[in-house]
Amino acid sequence: MENTKHLNGYIEEKDDTFYPTCRFCGKQTLPDAPYLSQDEANEAATIRCDCFEAREYQEKLRKEKERADNIIKLRQRLDDFSEYSASRGVELTGELHDLLLNVGIAIIDGQILKANINVGRIKVSISSNSKSVLTICFTYSDGAKLEV
């Protein structure tokens, strides 16, 4: 807060209080935290508002965060499995790693339901269950087939 003193002794205070206002319905609330800008205050109000448009916006934000979290988890699991498969003599790096990552992202986005990819002695199955949880199944086969 800045103060300006006038010649008559009156001190004028500059007020940097931003009042949160829902960007959809215009419902205004009292500030419950110090905000750096009016846009930041409006975002906070919109996230807490219960109007229909704000709830749709909140759901969109939740889905975007869930998607980003799932992509991070997918990347970590593929990196972990790349180390495991390297110890089995199958390299899942470079373009093959990127292919599995892109297939996983397509499943997260709902573009495809399931994918099965055979790489050497490893079969990778990526799918999404009814709870929208990504499932990655790696099957390693070290068997042999004999014909007599």
Does residue 56 lie in a domain region? Answer: no
Q: At a CB cut-off of 8 Å and minimum separation 6, what does 93 contact? A: 82, 86
Query: Same domain for 92 and 133?
Result: yes
DSSP string over 22-75: -TTT--B---SS--SSHHHHHHHHHHH--SHHHHHHHHHHHHHHHHHHHHHHHH
Residue 87's pLDDT is what?
A: 79
Query: Which of 43, 103, 53 lies closest to 77, judged by CA?
Result: 103
Flag whether 105 is in a domain: yes
Residues 6+ apart with CB under 8 A from 82: 91, 92, 93, 97
Tokens of 7: 């010649």
The neighbouring-strand residues paired with 127 are 114, 135
Q: Flag whether 82 is in a domain.
A: yes
Instruction: Give yes or no: residues 72 and 119 share one domain.
Output: yes
40 with 78, same domain: the answer is no
Contact (Cβ atoms closer than 8 angstroms) between residue 106 and residue 114: no
Give the Cα separation of 140 and 121 in Å (integer): 6
pLDDT score, position 4: 62
Please identify every stretch of the chain with a pLDDT value under 50, giving residue numbers as ranges.
1
Structure tokens belonging to residue 84 = 């495991």
H or E element in which residue 147 lies: none
In a domain, 42, yes or no: yes
The answer to whether 135 and 129 have CB atoms below 8 angstroms apart is yes
* pLDDT computed for residue 3 by the predictor: 61
In a domain, 58, yes or no: no
Q: Is residue 148 in a domain?
A: no
* Site of tokens 């972990």: 80
108 domain-assigned: yes
Range of the domain at 94: 67-140
- pTM for the predicted model, two decimal places: 0.71
User: Number of folded domains in the chain?
Assistant: 2
